[in-house]
Amino acid sequence: MTFDDLQNLIEQMYSEKDRQRGTPATFLWLVEEIGELATALREGTHAEKEAEFADVVAWLVTLANINDVNLAKALQAKYGAGCPGCGHLVCTCNAKP
C-alpha cells in the first residue's frame, strides 16, 4: 500500500468525521496513539507494536487529509533527492541526531 492508497482509503472511510473533528482534536488523537506506541515499544508484543505503528500512521494520514497535504508529494519533495541537509543519499551532515 502506498501513501496515496492509504490517504485515499482513510479519506473514503473517515473524511466526514475527520473534518468535523478538525485539526486540534485530531492532533490530540495522534499524540495519544504515539503514547500507545511508546508503551508497545517498551513492553508490547510484536503484534502490538505493529498495530500501534499502523495507528500512528493512520492518524498522521488523517491530519494530512484534513489539511490538504499529499504525503507522497511532501515526502518526495523533502527526502526524494536524499538528506534535506546535505543532499546526499547517505547523510554526511555533521549535526547530532
1-22 pLDDT per residue, tens: 999 999 999 999 999 999 999 9
What is this structure's pTM? 0.89
In tens, the pLDDT along 39-67 reads 999 999 999 999 999 999 999 999 999 99
CB distance 78 to 72 below 8 Å: no
The CATH architecture that domain 3-79 belongs to is Orthogonal Bundle (1.10)
Q: How big is the chain by its Cα radius of gyration, in Å?
A: 16
pLDDT more than 70, % of the chain: 97
